[in-house]
Amino acid sequence: MSIESLVKKEIRGPVRISPTRLRLKMPPDVISLAAGDPNFLLPEYIADAVYKAIREGYTHYCFGGDPELKEAIARYYKKFGYEADPMKQVIITAGGSQGIFQAYATILNPGDEVIAFDPSYGGGRSPLRYFGAKLVFSPMKKDAEGYFRIDIEALKEKITEKTKALYMENPGNPTGIVYTKEELEAIADLAKDHNFIVISDEIYTEFIWGGKKHIPIISLPDMEDRTIVIMAMTKMFAWAGMRTGWIISGPNLTSYINRVPTGITGVPWPIQKAAIVALNGPWDFVKGQAAEYEERIDYCVKRLNEMPNIKCVKPEGAFYLFPDISATGLKSAEFCAKLFEQEKLRIVPGSAYGPAVGEGHVRIALVRPLSTQTMPSWFKVEPDKTLEAAMDRLERFTKSLAK
Ligand SMILES: Cc1ncc(COP(=O)(O)O)c(C=O)c1O
């Protein structure tokens, strides 16, 4: 008997190791704009807070999460117009990924269906198989300018009596869209009419461009107890490796989410203490990142639109570009593989975000600086590894395709 027969059937089969996991061993000539882990170095006052907490003895169990952190989170979220009760509505998680997993662990039985948009963030749906649930893609459509928008009629068609939840990121990864009030209201109406939960992944709310405003779907009428908000320090404070995030939900739903046996909170207490310091301000570090991201976006969108057969809109939020490459005649996976082979530049095929609508695009994470940018980076950026250099490589590649 193979060991595999003892393993949960949903996770059997061949292992696929993403090159991202091997990133630290990447050859020196590679530029990776694949994973969304930015280059920014955490400011010293936050790093010091970790050490101070250890020195003060916060190295013990922290059952249920630090109440002061829950208060800081609720205070932070209030800026979006929604007031959560810190003790009844906030759960500390080890990053957005644990939040997503715990949300599904609360609601899914085998055979349930979860709708995600095509295109959408893969990590928002990868846990489904583990719970024996089925993923249903709902295609987005592009507007006249080239922005992805939800197609509410298409979404309606995907709803069945087995639909348990809709997963959405706002702002979107990879689409870069920020949902309008009308779009959120249309989704909320469907959730109420058809009795499903909205998992609202709001991990990029600090990075919104062009005067758009983040509206939390949980703040819409009667949505409190059918919304699970996912957030994290990951992108906000360039904190990916310190694994800190949270869930905000209605008081009833939170009491169920809390019953998922995740053990004691997964975030080491000294890191929680540092998160309190970070969330209590000042916010210069976050504002500085936002300013650098927007410069990167403006530079790269311009460069991309000058390349043959590439079209790219300026995102409304987040720090990804998702240009349309369909005019090159290549499938997105082929485009990325050839680009890597010829130019040692790593980006992600759109098919990873959605098989139908995501295809024909590639995702570029703007996680490296322009040569003119000055915020401290956690790794040395050589002059031939800047964003300008990455765009030069991409330009050479697209020109070689157009020949
Ligand atoms: C939309 C979205 N949600 C969640 C995550 C995962 O976040 P974390 O690293 O906090 O688990 C990511 C990471 O890229 C993301 O883009």
Task: Report if residue 53 sits inside a domain.
Answer: no
- Residue of minimum CA distance from atom 16 in ligand 1: 173
- Residue of minimum CA distance from atom 14 in ligand 1: 36
Here the CATH number for the domain that contains residue 197 is: 3.40.640.10
Here the CATH number for the domain that contains residue 20 is: 3.90.1150.10
Q: Are residues 244 and 137 in the same domain?
A: yes
- Ligand 1 centroid–CA 97 distance in Å is 6
Ligand 1 within 6 A of 95 CB? yes
pLDDT string in tens for the chain (403-residue length) = 788 889 999 888 887 766 555 555 677 899 999 999 999 999 999 999 999 999 999 999 999 999 999 999 999 999 999 999 999 999 999 999 999 999 999 999 999 999 999 999 999 999 999 999 999 999 999 999 999 999 999 999 999 999 999 999 999 999 999 999 999 999 999 999 999 999 999 999 999 999 999 999 999 999 999 999 999 999 999 999 999 999 999 999 999 999 999 876 689 999 999 999 999 999 999 999 999 999 999 999 999 999 999 999 999 999 999 999 999 999 999 999 999 999 999 999 999 999 999 999 999 999 999 999 999 999 989 999 999 999 999 999 999 999 8
DSSP code string of 173-230: TTT-----HHHHHHHHHHHHHHT-EEEEE-TTTT-B-TT-----GGGSTT-GGGEEEE
Tell whether pTM > 0.85. yes
Dump pLDDT digits (tens) for 198-255: 999 999 999 999 999 999 999 999 999 999 999 999 999 999 999 999 999 999 999 9
Ligand 1 within 6 A of 97 CB? yes
Name the nearest CA neighbour of 283 among 81, 38, 46, 37.
Answer: 46
Residues 6+ apart with CB under 8 A from 39: 238, 367, 368, 369, 377, 378, 379, 381
Q: Please provide the distance, in angstroms rounded to a whole number, between the alpha carbons at the two ends of the chain.
A: 55
Plot region of 111 (φ>0 → left; ψ -120 to 50 → alpha; else → beta)? left
Q: Are residues 265 and 369 in the same domain?
A: no
Task: Report if residue 49 sits inside a domain.
Answer: no
Name the nearest CA neighbour of 95 among 292, 260, 271, 226.
Answer: 271
Q: Are residues 271 and 366 in the same domain?
A: no
Name the nearest CA neighbour of 360 among 352, 351, 369, 368.
Answer: 351
Q: Which atom of ligand 1 is nearest to the CA of 244?
A: 10
Q: Are residues 274 and 288 in the same domain?
A: no
Q: Which atom of ligand 1 is nearest to the CA of 169?
A: 1
Q: Which atom of ligand 1 is nearest to the CA of 234?
A: 10
Ligand 1 within 6 A of 234 CB? yes
